[in-house]
Chain A
Amino acid sequence: MRAFLISLQLGLALGAGTASHAQQAPAEPVEAPAEAATEQASAPAEAAPPELQPGAASEAGAIEEANTDIQAALPGVTPGTPPPADEVQIIARDIGEGLRCPVCQGMSVADSTSPAAVAMLRKIESLVAAGYARRDIDAYFVSKYGEWVLLKPTTSGMNKVVWLGPFVAFLAGLALVWGLHRGGDDEEEEHEQPAPGPTSPASSYTAQLLDEVDDD
């Protein structure tokens, strides 16, 4: 079901992609590192360069930079209480599960080892370590990549079509089948039990019989 919704969202994004600027899917990368290409074939991907390895997000510089970036993108957003250091990676990975890797095909940031995904995961770690909530981090990435980056589409705006469309289509299909079935039954009944009309020989014969019975 989830895969169906995602593919439907992609289809709608493809259709509406160039017609509207409100929600745009980033174009496919012209070229991705060999690691990402390997990953698309579901083979083990080569690890990212050492400077891109996750896990070092607790550095003060990275947190400060993440703070600056999110404040510039989402003015007014304030961080809460940072989680314990040993939970940062767990929370970041959980958030990364819901974000799309930009150079992969249908993989989350948490599942991909491509440099782009690893860099995004590091950024998430920095934002989590700074105390930002999941909704703020999601909003930050949406402000950079569009709603396309969310693996689970939101239920607002045109996305309602994505969520409700399949159910409406299913109900419309049921109504169509029911309507056609009823039409067929009516026709069958008409054929099986033809109502004797006043001019048919059978009806005149019946009328004559009834008259004779009444006379008796």
Chain B
Amino acid sequence: MSKQRGVNLKVLITGLAIIVPVLVLFAVSFGNDPRAVPSVLEGKPAPTFALTDLDGRSVSLEQFRGKPVVINFWSTWCGPCKMEHGLLQQSARMNSDVQFLGVIYSDEADKARAYLQRAGSAYPSLVDPQSTTAIDYGVAGVPETYFIDGSGTIVEKFVGPLDPNNMQRLLQLIRRG
């Protein structure tokens, strides 16, 4: 009788050793927003770049040193980019202490220019030939938006279309830096 109880205990412990870690893994994974995965670049200096905007003017990150910067990677073939476009334009107009920049990702400059003429443009949109700047920022898709504080450190990378609450929260974060 006591032997039978010992075997059951072994099976129970083994079963728990297998099931509990799996349940913990699922509990941790399902409890989080999959889009809220932080970038490995957060807390690190923003990669520098020197690109040209759609009007041919040279724009570098260095020229905004000391000022919080928001860099939005977008494309005209990206639906969510169009969803957040209005919020980005409005935020750029209302927050003159923050520099907003758009970087066109894997798209043609003419298409981007035509779209911005229709939808409005409150800040420079930069052409990124061969996506070198996008790779340097670890961009995996669009839209992705990087919030950089005045010291040039990436505070947060936001994946997906921005909403007003997150925009306000992140603007406050980069102003504090």
| Interfacial residues, chain A to chain B (CB-CB below 8 A) | 11, 14-19, 21, 24-34, 48-49, 51-52, 62, 65, 69, 72-73, 102-103, 115-116, 119-120, 122-123, 142-146, 172, 176, 179-180, 183, 186-187
Contact = CB atoms under 8 A, between A and B. Distances in A.
Interface of B: 3, 7, 10-11, 14, 25-26, 28-29, 32-42, 47-48, 75, 77-81, 106, 108, 129-132, 134-143, 159-161
B48 A72 contact: yes
Contacts of A103: 140-141
A33 B141 CA distance: 9
Interface centre among A26, A143, A183 (most CB of B within 10 A): A26
Interface centre among A16, A123, A144 (most CB of B within 10 A): A144
A213 B83 CA distance: 104
Given A11-B25, A24-B37, A115 B131 contact: yes
Contact of B140 (A49, A102, A176, A180): A102
B130 A180 contact: no
A123 B28 contact: no
Contact of A28 (B139, B141, B161): B141
B132 to A, nearest CB: 6
A32 B137 CA distance: 17
A146 B34 contact: no
A144 B40 contact: yes
A27 B140 contact: yes
Given A119-B106, A180-B11, A145 B131 contact: no
Given A14-B25, A33-B77, A116-B131, 6 more contacts: A33-B106, A103-B141, A119-B132, A146-B39, A180-B7, A186-B3
A203 B24 CA distance: 56
A144 to B, nearest CB: 4
Given A15-B25, A115-B131, A102 B141 contact: yes
Contacts of B135: 119-120, 123, 144
Contact of B32 (A17, A115, A187): A17
